[in-house]
Amino acid sequence: MKSSKVNYKPKDAEKRKAIKPVICYPIESLKPPPMQDYFNARKSLKKIDQIIIPPRDAKCFKVPKGHFFRIYCENGPQVGDLNLWCHNNLDEKFYSGKTRALYGTHLSTKDRLWSCFPYLRPMATITHDTLGWYGYDSDGGSVHDVIGTRCDPYTEKTLSNKEYHFCCHSNLIRALSNYKNISYEKAEKYVHDVLNVFMCTGFTKDTHQYFMKASPVRVGDYIEFFSEIDLIAGLSACPGGDCSTSHSSDDAICHPLRVEIYKCPRDNLNNWKEPKISEYSGKHNR
Ligand SMILES: [Zn+2]
């Protein structure tokens, strides 16, 4: 937070502050996703699997490339924390910071979830979002953010001196450890900043701090993704429930989340190709 008590202000301060912003990463030069292919494909989806994520827990599941997956609000308003990894390479993981820099603080239909360096390619594309109507509210809040990181036991210990073992960070560690049969220590290195599915968040107008408010999600709402590469997805049903009051504790009412995985006829995806990893040479002026 920036203090308003500054003891020096240059004479041309207002002039300097009045300079107009420019977009850091204009996305007009990005190759657009073949949305019409996705929209055609999703008309003939065949459900092939379903996973229930229990409250205050997480699970990992595979989504083959060219498939779709949906995250459903199952029993009541509930927030989910999503991690993505390349199925055969855990080092290639979702990069929420760069995704935010490209599309903004909150994601919806047509936005893509990019992987980290040195790969930097779309891992998944959002193809439907029943909360797309929400837009931005009068507090500046919206849903499905890439600004929060994930609830975690370290911050909880630092702020409240309490031990809590069912934060999304810990839930995702257990889920990845089980899925890949690796130790908790190894799994923890691969857990990363999330897409906050269904969570309603923003920055306060006065102090610009990260805030949350009750998720507008209702039973039957869902967000749908197209899998651009073979994925492992990890999803935690956050201990914050609808995140209207608290998280990182057993205080909130929590519900399960339902994941559905769908196959589609490949001939509906004529213009789609698996994205290549970044073509940057990697020389870094060597
Ligand atoms: Zn959480």
Residue 25 to residues 30, 104, 126: CA-CA distances in angstroms? 10, 10, 20
Q: pLDDT class for 3, splitting at 50, 70, 90?
A: low
pLDDT in tens, 109-140: 999 999 999 999 999 999 999 999 999 999 99
- Ligand 1 mean position to 79 CA, how many Å? 8
Question: Cα–Cα distance between 253 and 204 in angstroms, integer?
Answer: 25
Q: How long, in residues, is the chain?
A: 286
Which residues neighbour 233 within 8 Å (Cβ) at sequence distance 6 or greater?
60, 61, 62, 63, 69, 82, 83, 84, 259
Whether pTM > 0.85 for this model: the answer is yes
Say if residue 266 is exposed, middle or buried (CB neighbours under 10 Å; 0-12, 13-18, 19+). exposed
Measured between its terminal Cα atoms, the distance across the chain in Å is: 39
- Contact present, 121 and 31 (Cβ < 8 Å): no
pLDDT in tens, 169-192: 999 999 999 999 999 999 999 999
pLDDT in tens, 137-174: 999 999 999 999 999 999 999 999 999 999 999 999 99
- Contact present, 212 and 240 (Cβ < 8 Å): yes
**CA 32, 144, 235, 117: dihedral to nearest 10 degrees?**
50
pLDDT in tens, 81-115: 999 999 999 999 999 999 999 999 999 999 999 99
Q: pLDDT class for 266, splitting at 50, 70, 90?
A: confident
pLDDT tops 70 at residue 68: yes
Which residues neighbour 31 within 8 Å (Cβ) at sequence distance 6 or greater?
none
- Ligand 1 mean position to 98 CA, how many Å? 21
Q: Which residue has the tokens 């309603």?
A: 200
Mean of the per-residue pLDDT values of the chain: 96
- Ligand 1 mean position to 265 CA, how many Å? 35
Can you give the pLDDT at residue 268? 80
- Contact present, 259 and 50 (Cβ < 8 Å): yes
Question: Cα–Cα distance between 267 and 42 in angstroms, integer?
Answer: 12
- Ligand 1 mean position to 42 CA, how many Å? 30
- Ligand 1 mean position to 81 CA, how many Å? 6
Can you give the pLDDT at residue 246? 85
Q: pLDDT class for 4, splitting at 50, 70, 90?
A: low
- Ligand 1 mean position to 102 CA, how many Å? 24
| Residue from 209, 184, 198 nearest 236 by CA | 198
Handedness of CA 169, 171, 176, 182 (dihedral sign): positive
Phi then psi for 35, rounded to 5 degrees? Answer: -60, -35
